[in-house]
Structure 1
Amino acid sequence: MSESAAAELTDAQRLLVDLVSIPSPSGEEAAAARRLVDFFEAHDRDVWIDEVGNVHAPANDDVLLTSHIDTVPGDIPVEIEGEGEDRELWGRGSVDATGPLAAMAVAAVATGVSFLGVVGEEVDSRGARHVIESDRAEPGAVVNGEPSGWTGITLGYRGLLAGTYVATSESGHTSRPENNAIQDAMDWWSRVEEEFDPDEYLPVFERVTCKPTSFEGGTSVDGLSVEATMEVQLRVPPKYTVDDVREIADGQLDIGTVHWYDHVPPVMESPRTPVARAFRAAIREAGGDPRLLRKTGTADMNVFASAWDCPMVTYGPGDSDLDHAPDEHLRLAEYDRSIDVLIDVCERLTEVDA
């Protein structure tokens, strides 16, 4: 990045650029967490890092602003391109979710609300899970940081059910008609897919999406059996519970076993909660047209909603189509505007509770 581009940055933009410039793939968030600590300490805020690496800056808990520190792997040179309102920051995490993370840190300092930066969202949400399993009190409202565009408010995410299917069969000549373990695995998964085969006009958010993520199979080392192992994921819409989907999938199982090791419930928040209303008002005040979104993936909002009964939304600058992409970049003007919206929202919510 040129010295002239760096010199033109505001303090809020400098935090963003610094965080994007620090590699923070899942499991390697410590340096980025330290930069967040330095930011809060420079603004006379209490801040600490817990045993799993989450950054806590507690304050007015009427509102908790939270986003994840980790990114997916990928080396994208950090550059600022363009001029004026068209300036863009390129780099891994600029959209998912370092942009929302930095915006929330700045807004938390400006308004005196609580902040939480969590680790491991891109892998297993271990940071968010650690928080809800600790003795942290439920906040008044949660704003989770993920890219929605500065005018977008995400109210819903599908849930997740993930498991490992394992089957074994006796080895034999391939001319024999009996299924081997590989065919057993394929047959089970075909039945699961058929069970959840959607109407083609049904929105993706409302479907159960079935996806195998890896497969290993073949003759065992001793040559006496055929083995098959398949990793699978099912995305769960709010009309189902995760247990519903698991029961249906298990009901298609004739041969083999499945170990279900991850389950995250779906979440769908009302657009009429105080936090959703505050966002709509703040976006309009900033000259935008609010958009209510439902995402087909899963986020830390699912984890928080499984434990806390407070209103919540997900919000943040950036185009989610650029999540994990090789051309990930964020317009600095959109980042700035999202901070203005977050500050307005926090002020509205803390005034109501004052």
Structure 2
Amino acid sequence: MHLEKESLKQKGRKLLEELLSVYTPSGSEDKALKVFEWIEKEFNLKLNVTKSNSYLLGRGEILLASHIDTVQGFIEPSVSGETISGRGAVDAKGPLTSMILAGWILNDLGCGVEIAALSDEENMSKGAKELLSSSRRFSHIVIGEPTNTTHIAIEYRGLMRLSIKCKGNPEHSSSSHDNVILKRIPSIMKVSQLHSEYSLPTIVPTILRSGSSANVTPEDLYVHFDIRFPYEVNYNDILSKFKEEFDECDIEIGELIHPVKVSPSTPLVRSLMRGLIRQGMRPSLVKKSGTSDMNILASITPSIATYGPGDSRLEHTEFERITLDEIYIATMTYVNSLEELCSKN
């Protein structure tokens, strides 16, 4: 009865609408508590709320892990035919919906699966780090992020966040000879890189602060860089370039997450591919240019990969939307894949 397509799609519609109705930017995940209490009863999945306000459903040796937080900017949920729009519809409440549906089905089939709606993925990944620091271990982990419904991500770039603080000499603007902004702009331009090639790092200044008076040159300059680097690049090589260019400034690493890369031949990747093939889909393996909780949780098990419904080009945009067909295909991919892995345990 669970697997009847139309009834499962409507179940997914109701579930996703409930998740989208609550605005949960990073730091506000606690607002979703009532929704998860409803999910616990509706899908017969035991709920555990962690200190980081992550939500764990069910219990098992296989983990389906997505996240409940979103980026800032509420988008009023709406439904047009079989398309659902709203903040998080793609990243990542759509994938989370498919994971909850799959966990409900699999647990009824006797396949012990746990679902995690982790907190703070869009910020500092507190939920994933909390799970990593616990004693929990899993044989396989699927990360629920939008991968265009037929793609399976086996590689993510690493993340380094750098804070640069430079001192200046306050002077009257009409007779200034030492302006810290003008002095450091060439260095900012020199280290910054925005490449379309996955194999090259992207180095992007995202925050710039300086000055406090309209007619006095600044006494300091602050620049924050968001850096993404692939598996083959050593972050120390990037750091050395910053130390060379900003040799008179203070440089601080705010966060460092290493790249992750798994083999296409791992049991989970192969079973996800077969889960799509069984539905007449043609799977493909991809590399993601960003960073996700997969980077953090990969140390728990080598059998890890990212898969989920939704067009990844719509992430963090004002046009987040997903179809019930995408939700259904992903749900059945999870079910097909993990039922196969359960039978081999």
TM-score, with normalisation over the residues of structure 2? 0.89
Shift of 1:337: 1.3
What is aligned with 1:28?
Answer: 28
Whether the 8 Å contact between 1:40 and 1:109 is mirrored in structure 2 is no
Give the Cα–Cα distance (whole angstroms) in 2 for the partners of residues 8 and 302 of structure 1. Answer: 32
Give the Cα–Cα distance (whole angstroms) in 2 for the partners of residues 262 and 219 of structure 1. Answer: 28
Whether the 8 Å contact between 1:204 and 1:296 is mirrored in structure 2 is no
Shift of 1:185: 2.7
Instruction: Indicate yes or no: 2:150 matched with 1:151.
Output: yes
Shift of 1:170: 2.1
Give the Cα–Cα distance (whole angstroms) in 2 for the partners of residues 157 and 121 of structure 1. Answer: 14
SS in 2 for 1:65: strand
Instruction: Indicate yes or no: 2:204 matched with 1:180.
Output: no
Q: Kindly tell me: are residues 351 and 234 of structure 1, through their superposed partners in 2, closer, same or farther at Cα, counting changes over 3 Å?
A: same
What is aligned with 2:191?
Answer: 192
What is aligned with 1:274?
Answer: 267
Give the one of 201, 210, 214 matched to 1:208.
201
Whether the 8 Å contact between 1:162 and 1:232 is mirrored in structure 2 is yes
What letter corresponds to residue 128 of structure 1 in structure 2? A
SS in 2 for 1:127: helix
Shift of 1:191: 3.6
Shift of 1:167: 0.9
Whether the 8 Å contact between 1:19 and 1:32 is mirrored in structure 2 is yes
SS in 2 for 1:60: coil
What is aligned with 2:95?
Answer: 100
Aligned length: 334
Shift of 1:222: 11
Q: Which runs of 5+ in 2 are unaligned?
A: 1-6, 108-112
Alignment of 1:94-173 (within 5 A): 94-112=89-107, 113-136=113-136, 138-172=137-171
Q: Which runs of 5+ in 1 are unaligned?
A: 1-6
Shift of 1:122: 1.1
What is aligned with 1:76?
Answer: 75
Alignment of 1:13-52 (within 5 A): 13-52=13-52
Give the Cα–Cα distance (whole angstroms) in 2 for the partners of residues 171 and 31 of structure 1. Answer: 46
Whether the 8 Å contact between 2:157 and 2:291 is mirrored in structure 1 is yes
Give the one of 229, 233, 240 matched to 1:236.
229
Whether the 8 Å contact between 1:171 and 1:219 is mirrored in structure 2 is no
Instruction: Indicate yes or no: 2:86 matched with 1:91.
Output: yes
What fraction of aligned residue pairs are identical, expressed as a percent? 28
Shift of 1:74: 2.4
Q: Kindly tell me: are residues 10 and 225 of structure 1, through their superposed partners in 2, closer, same or farther at Cα, counting changes over 3 Å?
A: closer
Give the Cα–Cα distance (whole angstroms) in 1 for the partners of residues 309 and 272 of structure 2. Answer: 13
Whether the 8 Å contact between 2:153 and 2:306 is mirrored in structure 1 is yes
SS in 2 for 1:56: strand
Q: Kindly tell me: are residues 37 and 8 of structure 1, through their superposed partners in 2, closer, same or farther at Cα, counting changes over 3 Å?
A: closer
Give the Cα–Cα distance (whole angstroms) in 2 for the partners of residues 8 and 344 of structure 1. Answer: 15
Task: Calculate the aligned-residue CA RMSD, in Å.
Answer: 2.5
Whether the 8 Å contact between 1:278 and 1:349 is mirrored in structure 2 is yes
Shift of 1:134: 2.3
Alignment of 1:318-329 (within 5 A): 318-329=310-321
Q: Deviations over 1:257-298 (max 9, x none)?
A: 111111111112211111110011111111101021111111
Deviates more, 1:273-282 or 1:26-35: 26-35
Q: Kindly tell me: are residues 302 and 316 of structure 1, through their superposed partners in 2, closer, same or farther at Cα, counting changes over 3 Å?
A: same
Whether the 8 Å contact between 2:145 and 2:308 is mirrored in structure 1 is yes
SS in 1 for 2:219: strand
What is aligned with 1:246?
Answer: 239
Shift of 1:173: 6.2
What letter corresponds to residue 57 of structure 1 in structure 2? L
What is aligned with 1:316?
Answer: 308
Shift of 1:162: 0.7
Q: Deviations over 1:120-171 (max 9, x none)?
A: 11111111111112232x2111100110122111111111111211111223
TM-score, with normalisation over the residues of structure 1? 0.87
Shift of 1:184: 3.7
SS in 2 for 1:139: coil
